[in-house]
Amino acid sequence: MRRGLVVIVGVVLVLAAMLWLESSRPPTVKIASNMLGESWYRVELSGDHVGFMYNRSFVDRLGHWHFFSTTHFLLADGDPNTITKHLTFGPQSPFPLIEARYANRQDGQVHETRLVPDAAGFRATLVRGGERSEVALDWSFDMETFVAFETWLATERRTPDSQFLAHTPDFERLRVTQRAYRVVDVNAEGYLVETNAPFAATQTQLDASLRPLRLSMAGIFDVVAASEADAIALKSLRRKTNYRFEVDQRLEDHTNLAALELGVAVTGDFDLPRRLELSHNPVTTRGGGDAFVGEELRYPVSAPAIQNLVRKALDGPGDDPVAQLLRASHEALRYAVDRPAGSVLDALRRGAGECTDYADLFTTLARAAGLPARTIYGLAYQDGGKPAFLFHAWNEVYRDGRWQSVDPTWNQMRVDATHLPLSEELAARFMLANNVAGVQFVVEKADYFED
């Protein structure tokens, strides 16, 4: 009896000690501990199995916290894309970031970022194809910031419409960005939360331990928890990706179009606009240009080849820097159909590329010259025997207090009205509708410049 009582008391004391230790642990440790282990997810596009996600978190023998993730997807046969991230944090509060690795592999190209701390913040080693460079970043980031949103959810039961502004590292843009989260619902599984990245509204269902069960990206992409075998069981796509959007008639003198009205003919409910009103100089960026300056993984502003080309362009004929940089971008490359260079520096070495290579080169040159600029994606008209709109890339550049569109592929300082900028969400919807049912544009009205 006494022995049994001692055992019972001992168990109670052990449980009490465990509870005390648990309650005394920093919230960051509690949240991060819930993330330990691995999980697999199946990525679907309108029911098609197009990829997988894999997450793994662990603590090594030195007490460092590791968070690893990889996303692999295939939206066109023979053109896979794999993105990996690995963040390593120190063993003690505030658990500083001691190393980060990011890699984006596509079209035989690898873009990588590796961060290590230094006296000023972090030193980033960037790999773009065969080119390597270093950039200083004045970042401040740690594990407490990394799990701040989950910590906020765990501190007390949140109600629908509660909001939180989180900070997250962007390894493509080389900056720490802000992301707004909103609680959509509190349900039996846990929390349904929403954020506006990367494909417009992205909703995530979290379980009671705040681990993701499934995600829905704009109602188009679905990411669902699965077994490893199910997640990686990719087969050939059921539908061939169709990048051509037929138009019912040829547009005469299309580069001189000031405005264009199109009907959108499609069978089925894909949540597409039924009518489009296009205008010349289609500007989508709002506000000033502070967010679109400086070095990024895709824009090697500091590379010697870029600096030399900028100097040569601005020393050339004319006194309009935008026109000079546009001409330099256009003349530096020749158009190579279905042969993207994959990076700005490789495009320059090859002297060839597709529209994205032209646009990324202009963005890089403009930023190197001190002009805010960004690459824009959408649809643009292609003339010929079978006229159509195709996916295309061009630019917006900020000068004299306003944004202006330019197209370096076609050397247009005045972008015509056949350019249709698309958000990530709308681009995905157009692609899905075209693959499933086919989309046709119907010309309703075309207005031309008088000059």
Task: Give per-10-residue mean pLDDT for the chain (451 aa).
Answer: 49 52 65 92 86 94 96 78 95 94 86 93 90 91 94 90 94 92 94 76 89 84 92 71 87 94 91 94 92 94 96 92 97 89 91 95 98 96 89 96 97 96 86 87 94 69
Give the pLDDT score at 8: 53
Q: Is residue 20 part of a domain?
A: no
Q: What is the pTM of this model?
A: 0.87
Helical pair 27-34 and 148-155, crossing angle rounded to 10 deg: 110
Is the Cβ–Cβ distance between 32 and 65 less than 8 Å?
yes
Give the pLDDT score at 233: 87
Could you tell me the CA-to-CA distances from 61 to 29, 58, 64, 91 in Å, in that order? 16, 10, 7, 10
Same domain, 303 and 343: yes
* H or E stretch at 215: strand 212-217
User: In terms of residue numbers, what domain contains 411?
Assistant: 244-448
Same domain, 187 and 248: no
Burial zone of 416 (CB within 10 Å; 0-12 exposed, 13-18 middle, 19+ buried): buried
Q: Please name which of 182, 172, 403 lies closest in space to residue 298, comparing C-alpha atoms.
A: 172
Number of domains in the chain: 2
Q: Is residue 120 part of a domain?
A: yes
Q: Which residues contact 131 (CB under 8 A, 6 or more apart)?
A: 300, 303, 343, 345, 346
Same domain, 435 and 286: yes
Tokens of 310: 């900028």
Same domain, 224 and 284: no
CATH of residue 401 = 3.10.620.30
Last residue of a domain, one of 231, 265, 289: 231
Same domain, 172 and 261: no
* Number of C-beta neighbours around residue 192 at 10 A: 19
Same domain, 220 and 267: no
Phi-psi region at 136: left, alpha or beta (left = phi > 0; alpha = psi -120 to 50): beta
Tokens of 36: 């330990």
Last residue of a domain, one of 184, 206, 231: 231
Name 195's bridge partners. 181, 202
Q: Quickly tell me which residue has 């949140």 as its tokens.
A: 158
* H or E stretch at 45: strand 37-45
Give the pLDDT score at 249: 93
